[in-house]
Amino acid sequence: MLYILSWYRIQVQAREIAALTGHPIYDSQIIAAAIDAGCTLLWSEDMQHRHQVSTAQGNVVIRNPFMDDVAHDG
């Protein structure tokens, strides 16, 4: 039952993120799952580098591992 509640919470949050940021729903589901898991950093080469997503549940910063500045500011 806990799995179903967690899945539902992520789906609701993903819709809110998609509406707020304009991210596609699939990207928003990844972001919502990261926030739900307590992550503050999300690595993705497909999303906007250094974009911060803030919700009532938490915040996450998206980083591209292939951008030059990643190696310099650890």
Distance of CA 13 to the CA centre of its chain: 10
Q: Could you tell me the residue ranges of all domains in the chain?
A: 2-67
- Note the pLDDT tens digit of each residue in 25-62: 999 999 999 999 999 999 999 998 999 998 888 999 99
Q: Are the C-beta atoms of residues 35 and 60 closer than 8 Å to each other?
A: yes
Contact assessment for residue 36 and residue 14, using Cβ atoms and an 8 Å cutoff: no
What's the pLDDT tens digit per position in 2-29? 667 788 999 999 999 999 999 999 999 9
CA 35 to chain centre: 6
